[in-house]
Amino acid sequence: MRAIIAATTVITCLPFAAAAEERRVFFDAAMSSALLDRGEQIGGQTAEFFAGAEASAGEMLLYATVYRLLPIGSDRSAFDNETDYSVGVIWEGQGYEADVSANWLTYPGEQAADSLELAASVSLDLPLAPGVAAFHDFHTDDWGLEVFGGPHWEQDAWTLYVLGRVGFVTLGDGSASRSYGGIETGAVRLLTDTVALGFQLRAEAADEDSFASAFGADGVTAWRATGTSVGVSLSYAR
């Protein structure tokens, strides 16, 4: 998972948490003005679709998901289509929650090679829910680490949140590592017992020019060190 869905799926699902059962299916659809991920821009105007199922197994929660990234704007030729398939497990311990997943990343119709990525995160049951996430791509040999955290609270019928993150990515091709930081804020509201509407605003900055600032016939023609994105999502879970 990436971008608006990657960053906010847990937040978006908060209104559903109280109704969680031993088995659950879920679906998210989102649109964003730009797709930001780990200190770089991987899409312009983009549609994202995310579907999956989860089931309890003792003290663990097992899940399987499919994620689709589809560039839709006038600059769509500058970015790759992507379809990801993931399986993972979530479990809770004394004061923490951990998530480990294997993710098969594919790029239908693109030159980019498919790859296997392993990802893991741990969040603590503390004020601001601090946590750390890591990943390793076995094809590119990229790996990275991110620290995140922030509050969420209720305001009338809305769940509001602010999420900050800092991290780095080391690239397997030997080029310079990228450090980044960002902040995201959003609001989620239940429309029915199974459907929620979400809005999101995200900004990131990196120590490399990794966000698109101009486009031409051949794709991105200029880059900068900061990027912003706004998005909207619709989520279903039961």
Rounded CA-CA distance 226/205 in Å is 4
Asked whether 224 and 36 are in contact (CB, 8 A), the reply is no
Asked whether 197 and 186 are in contact (CB, 8 A), the reply is no
* Rg of the Cα atoms in the chain: 17
Q: What's the predicted TM-score (pTM) here?
A: 0.89
Rounded CA-CA distance 39/169 in Å is 8
Owner of token pair 């398939």: 85
Q: Looking at residue 21, what is its pLDDT?
A: 53
3-class SS of residue 5: helix
Domains of the chain as residue ranges with CATH: 3-237 (2.40.160.40)
Q: How many CB atoms lie within 10 A of CB 152?
A: 16
Written as tens digits, the pLDDT of the chain (238 aa) is 444 444 444 444 444 444 445 779 999 999 999 999 999 998 889 999 999 999 999 889 999 999 999 999 888 888 889 999 999 999 999 999 999 999 999 999 888 899 999 999 999 999 999 999 999 999 999 999 999 999 999 999 999 999 999 999 999 998 889 999 999 999 999 999 999 999 999 999 999 999 999 888 778 999 999 999 999 999 999 8
Torsion sign, CA atoms 80, 81, 85, 90: positive
Rounded CA-CA distance 19/135 in Å is 31
